[in-house]
Amino acid sequence: MDDKPRSDNSKYVEEAKKRIKDRLSLDDFIRKLVAMDAETKKAENTLFKALFDTYFLYFPEAANLIRDKEKFVSTLSDGIKREEVSSRLGIPANSMGYDLSETDLSSISDALSQLVGLSGLRTMINLKLSSILEEKYINLFKVAGPEIASKLISLSGSLKSLSEMPSGKLQVLGAEKSIFNGRKAKTPKYGVIFFHPEIQNSADRIKGRVARVVASKISLAAKVDFFSKEDKSGQILKKMRKEIDKIKNGT
């Protein structure tokens, strides 16, 4: 039997833990928050569809008037019974829908509360993301906007990766997973930056050219945030708007 004392591995374990900890960063937290928001949004949409279909069974005349999620929630938040909802919508309370028991209606009310809770959770997540970006990545926050900035960091993996990425690649980042998913477009002009106000407010014929300008300025903002951390967003935005104005004026 070997009576030699075993070596103490605790210091190696601690070193391994430290190496793992050192590899983690704020960008990892941003990525997790973006993923949490996406999953919450998916759950919110799934629950809304199921809830809407159930309420349609009970009161189809009202459901047809409140197909929008926000309107659906606001209309039913103070009561879901036909008499209550009909007075809010100005329609008759008598319905061709299926009559549900008080217990069934209570279940729908509970599900509605869960839907409101999911919406509140998404608001909280996005407020946190916005707060992080405004404090740590001010140029990206102001040039791209918090939603686009957080998605770009998540898709690229880190601010470092985003700052090193050519603006042409940044321009289409997320295209395969977002608005072009399932479409036949061979070479999409934009990914998640499509929802940038400057692109959204441009005519379709110049959207691609505007997207190139927006992508180049977001790329510059990422570089400034990574290398200098100075707030140069005012200068970057001024240049961006000037270049976009030239495109819009045909010069």
Reported as type and span, the H/E element at residue 128 is helix 102-136
pLDDT of 188 higher than 80: no
What are the structural domains, with CATH classification, of the chain? 24-136 (1.10.287.4070), 137-251 (1.10.246.90)
pLDDT of 7 higher than 80: no
pLDDT of 184 higher than 60: no
pLDDT of 179 higher than 50: no
| Res 25: pLDDT | 86
State mean pLDDT over 221-225. Answer: 97
User: Any idea of the CA torsion for 51, 56, 62, 65, to the nearest 10 degrees?
Assistant: 80
Both tokens of residue 181?
């998913």
Determine contact, residues 33/149, Cβ cutoff 8 Å.
Answer: no
Distance CA 84, CA 75 (A): 10
State mean pLDDT over 78-90. Answer: 95
Nearest CA-CA partner of 214 in 231, 235, 237: 237
**Digit-coded pLDDT (tens) for 68-80:** 999 999 999 999 9
Predicted TM-score (pTM) of the model is: 0.83
pLDDT of 115 higher than 80: yes
Nearest CA-CA partner of 208 in 190, 181, 196, 223: 190
Nearest CA-CA partner of 139 in 223, 241, 198: 223
| Res 124: pLDDT | 98
More confident residue, 18 or 213: 213
Q: Which amino acid belongs to residue 68?
A: D
Residue 24 pLDDT class (50, 70, 90 cuts)? very low
Residue 13 pLDDT class (50, 70, 90 cuts)? low
pLDDT of 90 higher than 80: yes
| Res 180: pLDDT | 47
